[in-house]
Amino acid sequence: MNYQTILEDIQEEIKPLLGQGKVANYIPALGAIPISKFAMAIKTIDNKEYSVGDAEESFSIQSISKIFSFALALKELRAELWERVGKEPSGTAFNSLIQLEFEHGIPRNPFINAGALVMTDILTSTYNDPKQTLLDLVRELADNPKVNFDEVVAKSENEWGDRNRALAYFIKDFGNINNAVDEVLDLYFHQCSLSMSCLDLVRAFSCLANAGKTVGANKVIISERQTKRINSLLMTCGTYDAVGDFAYRVGLPGKSGVGGGIVAIMPGHFVISVWSPGLNESGNSLVGTKALELFTTKTKTSIF
């Protein structure tokens, strides 16, 4: 499969769409990103990489970071984790409060904001310095010691994070957050501010395509069983209330972020990432989703 030629064809084909969608200007630090940016990258499990566009340029990965915190929490709590968070698609917006009232403070899944806040609470209880623990893991997986939090974005998230603050206090009232809300939110806002490139992302998540082991070094990061669990939840919950549309069009487990990034996994084969800041109504990259749809169509590759 000539992945490089396919990526170049897709880059040319999506050009008329660049500029469509809306950047996440409700976080002011993200609103200044040029909507015309575009990048794609692939890493195969035989350790080959392909890319086009701004694939080495770092951007705010936002909710893609929830995979890292979920993986850490799953390693620590295992089966006990599911007493605090569910495994079902939400069917509502990523920052919705509605279901928490009916479901007594147990978020539907780890990838909506409420579920991610519970994950960060678990990390806060588990590690002496959870921010550094998370950052060390991401740097190791991406094989890039320069990966860091974007303090400007983290500050912007904190200043405009009233909905997340409300979610956290609401969950705490139900007894599903154990630490101080400000401490949990500080970790959450920094997690979302992680700045990575498309190439960083495919390297960092290559273990999800390789039965939990890093590609190249073959180091076990998570078990094969945990890898299956993460990928299954990415398939059903990774793109919020658009999971059905994403599965129909792309056919891969994936996770999006309002910074315009999407990472998707073909287990046993590759990880692919895309970045285009213009979002659709569900908060997923408009051009990125189309690019991934073109990729799986041209390569005839999906999990189905």
> Which residues belong to the active site?
63, 66, 188, 240, 258
Q: Which residue has the tokens 């996994």?
A: 265
* CA within 13 Å, CB half, 57: 17
Could you tell me which residues come within 8 angstroms of residue 22 by beta carbon, excluding any fewer than 6 positions away?
Answer: 278, 279
Distance, CA of 40 to CA of 14 (rounded, Å): 12
What are 169's two structure tokens?
């206090």
Summarize the chain as % helix, strand, coil (round to 5): 50, 10, 35
Q: Nearest-CA neighbor of 73 among 236, 209, 191?
A: 191
How many Cα atoms occupy the beta-carbon half-sphere of 29 within 13 Å?
A: 21
Q: Round to whole Å and give the CA distance between 116 and 120.
A: 6
Strand 194-196 with 59-60, pairing: antiparallel
DSSP state of 26: T
With b for 16 or more beta-carbon neighbours within 10 A and e for fewer, the 55-82 pattern comes to beebbbbbbbbbbbbbbbbbeebeeebe
> Which tokens belong to 43?
């890493």
Q: What is the dihedral of CA 128, 131, 132, 137, to 10 degrees?
A: 110
- How far, in Å, CA of 112 to CA of 258, rounded? 12
